[in-house]
A and B are shown apart, each in its own frame.
Chain A
Amino acid sequence: MADWLERLLGKQKHSADSAKDRLKLVLINDRTNLTTEQVEALKNDLLQVISRYVDIDPTAVQISISQEGRENRLVADIPIRTPARRKRSPA
């Protein structure tokens, strides 16, 4: 009975919204064959490799799978911490 009341109080969202949110994640996992944990592991591996070359702030890195139509892409936004000018190695 409390269903509608909880909804009114904003405690519970409509079941259709839960269905949509859950499906979004499930479909990304199904399409890419990647679980959320694997994406996390991928992120850590990527960070390790990149930090060998540039100074980055691991907490600012954003790696996610985005969807465009039926295409999925891995999007990485990795801010570089190094000050503006790159050091040039002497020729």
Chain B
Amino acid sequence: MAATVVTVSSGKGGVGKTTTTANLAVALALGGQKVVCIDGDIGLRNLDVVLGLENRIVYDLVDVVEGRCRLRQAMIRDKRLPDLFLIPAAQTRDKSAVSPSDMVRLCDELRGEVDWILIDSPAGIERGFRNALAPADVVLVVTNPEVSAVRDADRVIGLVEAEEKGPARLILNRLNPAMVKRGDMLTADDVLELLAVELIGIVPEDENVIVSTNRGQPVAFDPKAKAGMAFQNIARRLKGEQVAFLDLEEKDGFLHRLSRWMRPGGN
């Protein structure tokens, strides 16, 4: 096995990085892949609660880096999916406890053991983001169809390119088809035109995301939820499959125009 390291970033906070990381991890593991996800948000960890694994933390990422435990000991195995693991972030430390080269070393140690390593980047473009970016083979940038989220996504896409980790692939999260229809939300086409980047998925706004997060049961477990289906599709595209985009009842010709942006996945 040679794992692919996927870093999920966004610049702006609150756009759905952690939700995306948790759901892609679940979707990949449901598809029979062996997955480790790493919470890169030291000091503000959340991937553990979103995955529903918060009660099982003994060791964390900083313990591994500082040699207080072996890598295996910090890997929490998900009981629902035996091929899904979480390495939680430390809650009482800050980003400087880990360096980009620590992350590269840690991922190299894991590469032989799993199919996918997903890293949940913290918001911002400082140390935590650099840590998450350093070992990446693929960078996913999550954004929402809002001015501030799109602007920050553009910054991050530029930084990813500058670090030669590009081209980043875009996840447009929380698209509200009804608002798009009445002209009060940027369309997927608008966002893609502005950012000039390849799209890997659109996740519609869906109350099920909050409900499932309340329970610590990521929405990707629920194939009936639209957002769950969208994350499942993104996971398949990550694996290189060609999957049509969901019909989000947009205006005429939306999917048609969108299909131009969909190229068979490179990674």
A interface residue numbers (CB < 8 A to B): 14-17, 19-20, 22-24, 26-27, 30-31, 67, 69-70
User: How far does the alpha carbon of A67 sit from the alpha carbon of B184 in the complex, in Å?
Assistant: 25
Question: Which residues of A sit under 8 angstroms from B180, Cβ to Cβ?
Answer: 16
Taking a contact as CB atoms under 8 Å apart, the answer to whether B184 and A27 are in contact is no
User: Cα distance A19–B193 when bound, in Å?
Assistant: 13
B157 and A20 within 8 A (CB): no
Which of B's residues lie within 8 Å of A, judged by CB?
146-147, 150-151, 154-155, 157-158, 161, 180, 182-187, 190, 194-197
Pairs A–B under 8 Å by Cβ, sample size 17? A14-B183, A15-B183, A16-B180, A16-B186, A16-B187, A19-B146, A19-B147, A20-B190, A22-B147, A23-B194, A26-B147, A27-B194, A30-B151, A30-B155, A31-B158, A67-B196, A70-B157
Nearest 5 Cβ contacts at the A-B interface: A14-B183, A69-B196, A70-B196, A15-B184, A20-B190
Least Cβ–Cβ distance between A35 and chain B, in angstroms: 15
What are the residues of chain B within 8 A of A19 when measuring CB–CB? 146-147, 186, 190
Q: Which residues of A contact B150 (CB under 8 A)?
A: 23
- Closest residue to B185 on the A side, CB-wise? A16
Q: Complex Cα distance A30/B182, Å?
A: 29
In the bound assembly, the distance between CA atoms of A14 and B185 in angstroms comes to: 9
Residue of A nearest to B154 (CB): A27
B184 neighbours in A (Cβ, 8 Å): 14-16
Known: A14-B184, A19-B186, A23-B147. 10 other contacts (CB 8 A): A16-B180, A16-B185, A16-B186, A20-B186, A24-B194, A26-B147, A26-B151, A27-B194, A70-B158, A70-B195
Chain A residues near B183: list those with CB within 8 A: 14-17
Given A15-B184, A16-B186, A16-B190: A70 and B147 interface contact (C-beta under 8 Å): no
Q: How far is the CB of B154 from chain A (nearest CB, A)?
A: 5
Q: How far is the CB of B139 from chain A (nearest CB, A)?
A: 14
Nearest chain A residue, comparing its CB with the CB of B167: A70
| Shortest beta-carbon distance from A24 to chain B in Å | 7
How far apart are the CA atoms of A42 and B194 in the complex, in Å? 25
- Considering the chains assembled together, what is the distance between the CA atoms of A7 and B157 in angstroms? 35
Which residues of the other chain, B, contact A27 by a CB distance below 8 angstroms? 151, 154, 194
What is the CA–CA distance of A89 and B42 in the complex, to the nearest angstrom? 71
Closest chain A residue to B184 by CB distance? A15
Cα A69 to Cα B187 in complex, Å, equals: 18
Name the residue on A nearest B152 (C-beta): A30
Nearest chain A residue, comparing its CB with the CB of B179: A16
How far, in Å, is A77 (CB) from chain B's closest CB? 23
Hey, which chain A residues are within 8 Å of B182, CB to CB?
Answer: 14
CB neighbours (8 Å) of B194 from chain A are 20, 23-24, 27
CA of A41 to CA of B185 in the docked complex: distance in angstroms?
Answer: 35
